[in-house]
Amino acid sequence: MRRIILAATAGALLLTASACGTSSDTDAAAPATTTAAAVASPSADYTADTKKVCDDMGELLGGKKMEQFGAKLGEFIGYTQAKASSPAKKARTAAGKELKELATSLTKLTGAAQDPGLQAAGEETLKLINKSAEDEAFFAKFKTVDDVSKKLEPEVTAWLAPLDKFCA
């Protein structure tokens, strides 16, 4: 998980600098083959699938979606430093939107996992990221590009904490 966090933070930092339900609900929503496999084999081995999902999350967090968030965060910082409040507000809104899109993409990956625990952890991560995306105090932490390297990693660590058990 540390590798994923570092990749996500590094991706956002680079672009910021350049830019200056219940279990029955889950079972009912899951494909019949997944449910049947879980019932037929309560101690199913999800290792290979979990590794693939975790690798895919690493690629997502080090890829284009995180880059887009980093770019918008960088715009927000630049406008804030320039005391351009209207463009800063627009950039902050855009950064929040990019962050929510990142969270949605991450949840699509975990939602397709065979392990119901990983699916649930993905939903919890979605809630944490979306909370930050809507939180003015989260964005207020980023006043300079240096703040990204200092303050984003702890945030990403907190967002991904529910997934630690699966993607350590």
| pLDDT for position 8 | 56
| CA–CA separation, 99 and 135 (whole Å) | 11
Contact 119, 110 (CB under 8 A): yes
Give me the pLDDT at residue 97, please: 98
Question: How confident is the model at residue 118, as a pLDDT?
Answer: 97
pTM for the complete prediction? Answer: 0.76
Give the pLDDT of residue 43.
76
Query: In this predicted structure, what is the pLDDT of residue 32?
Result: 41
- The pLDDT of residue 115: 97
User: What pLDDT score does 31 carry?
Assistant: 42
Contact criterion met (CB below 8 Å) for 6 and 161 = no
Helix-strand-coil split of the chain, %, nearest 5 = 80, 0, 20
pLDDT at residue 131 in the model:
98
Q: For the chain, which ranges sit under pLDDT 70?
A: 1-42
Specify the pLDDT at position 1: 54
